[in-house]
Homo-oligomer: A and B are copies of this chain.
Amino acid sequence: MDKREDSLPPEELMVDEDFDHERDAAPPDTELDEDDRLKPEFVRDVIDLAEAGEHEAARERVGRLHPADIADLFELVSDEDRPLLASVLGDLLSPDVLAEMNDYVRERLIDLLAPEQVAEIASELDTDDAVAIIEDMEEDEQQAVLDALDPEDRAAIQDALSFPEETAGRLMQREYVAVPEHVTVGDVIDRLREDQDLTPDFWEIFVVDPMHRPIGTCQLSWILRTPRDIAISDVMQREQTLIPVDMDQEEVALRFQKYALISAAVVDKAGRLVGMITVDDIVHIIQEEAGEDILRLSGAGDGDINEPIRETYSARVRWLVANLGTALVASTIVGLFGGAIEHMVALAALMPIVAGVGGNAGTQTLAVTVRALAMNQLTDSNSWRAVWREMKIALLNGGTIALIAGSGTALWFANPGLGGVIAAAMIVNIFVAGVAGVAIPLLLDRLDQDPAVASSIFVTMTTDSMGFLAFLGLAVASGLTSL
């Protein structure tokens, strides 16, 4: 595993000055902080230059950035500044930059462009990136752009748009390399050298049968390391992971992750090769999908800080209203014990603790279960084991908390009975929370519902209601107070 083995011995090397020179001209990290984020000073400077009309200076500074950083620049400046920035930077706002940009930010920028401009941008991108830009447009604008595209690109993009959003058909690019199985490694290399229209970025080539069905995949490194006269079919790997064109992007992402894929062939119903998905298009989906659950659990909708306020409001308020409804249940239960509280008002002060800690325990279990489901770690094979596991943990947690809360209350209120009641209520509620936290998402998943979306409302309702019911109920039952 010695690293030197892979590099020629140093003595064979020679230095070439102007390369060193050019290397120094590589993009300066100085505009970025240690987390690869654009420094606030830089962002401010650029805007200042733009507003001061020093467009050349602004372009000069931004021009040294990677497209992904230019995209970030647009996301970091305010809505108001973006059109100005766009006009100042001109063609620095390249197709690559737009492809890297946050959907909401890009949408608003695209609205400023003429259909012809959008069409020109789209034609420079791979299908998947072009589609990402066009799919969010209004119906009529979309048509205008499609009309402005040359027939070949239009066909490819319309084809892509014919697949449902968030499926492999939308994600895939139509640009890939496929060869018949009888060709030799030499043939392939020669073809790659001749064909100048090829997509620049590909990592594997696909070997197809006469029906254009993929029968094998070949990493470029294998081709490079094989003598020219060997048949490609002897180099390729037959076990390959194919992506159905209608597969949901979350499944595609999980498949890429599970099998550590760099690229994969996309096939239609008939098993014919229709496109290619590369891992770099998947990485941001993995990040999105994995991050989505936290937003769904909290009912924060898309949770994108660039989302228009109107949309954010309607996404969140719906959730809060639902929460208001479930809170009524807990509230009604408390209402039933109005008398008990009047006789012993300390109950009113203590009951939020029982409900709160229980809710917290429920959220812990819920988060773990939702993650495990999202990562395909929980199946019918081990779900009962998971429930059983959470029960044991809940009893341990409940016992510990009961001990602390119980003794604390007994001392604080000089009332051992009250301490016993809160201790018992804690054990009950934390146990119920644990069971609800794992059972509710599993149930929703079994019903093909997204466990992340609805679970937390049910779990919170359960833990609140059970917290009040157990605590107040036990207080009455134990004769501490009366209704």
Q: Does the CB pair A283–B274 fall under 8 Å?
A: no
B363 near A334: Cβ-Cβ < 8 Å: no
Of the listed stretches A82-90, A136-144, A193-201, name the one at the interface; the rest are far from the partner chain: A193-201
Is A233 a contact partner of B16 (Cβ separation < 8 A)? yes
Which residues of the other chain, B, contact A72 by a CB distance below 8 angstroms? 376
Tell me whether A360 and B401 are in contact (CB under 8 A): no
A313 at the interface (CB under 8 A from B): yes
Task: Given A2-B174, A303-B371, answer yes or no on A397-B313 (Cβ-Cβ < 8 Å).
Answer: yes
A295 to B374 CA separation, bound complex (whole angstroms): 13
A294-B367, A342-B342 known; A202+B215 contact, CB < 8 A: no
Q: What residue of chain B has the Cβ atom nearest to residue A206's Cβ?
A: B7
Q: A317-B396, A349-B335 are in contact. Are A405 and B324 (CB under 8 A)?
A: yes
Contact B227 A404 (CB under 8 A): no
- A381 touching B335 by the CB < 8 A rule? no
Would you give the 0/1 interface string for A278-307, flagging 1 where the beta carbon is closer than 8 Å to chain B?
A: 011011101110110111011110011110
Determine how close the nearest CB of chain B comes to the CB of A396; give it in whole angstroms. 5
CB of B223 within 8 A of CB of A309, answer no
A110 at the interface (CB under 8 A from B): no
**Do A189 and B224 touch across chains, with their CB atoms under 8 A apart?**
yes
Given contacts A14-B180, A397-B313, A460-B356, contact A238 B152 (CB under 8 A): no
- Is A161's beta carbon under 8 Å from chain B? no
Known: A320-B397, A327-B357. A2 touches B152 (CB 8 A): yes
* A148 contacts the other chain (CB 8 A): no
**A256 near B: Cβ within 8 Å?**
yes
Q: A1-B156, A371-B295, A389-B309 are in contact. Are A6 and B379 (CB under 8 A)?
A: no
Q: Check A224–B224 contact: CB distance below 8 A.
A: yes
Residue pair A313, B176 in contact (C-beta under 8 Å) = no
16 sampled A-B residue pairs with Cβ under 8 A: A3-B275, A6-B175, A6-B197, A13-B180, A26-B238, A102-B377, A279-B279, A291-B293, A294-B371, A295-B367, A316-B361, A317-B396, A323-B357, A324-B405, A330-B352, A352-B464
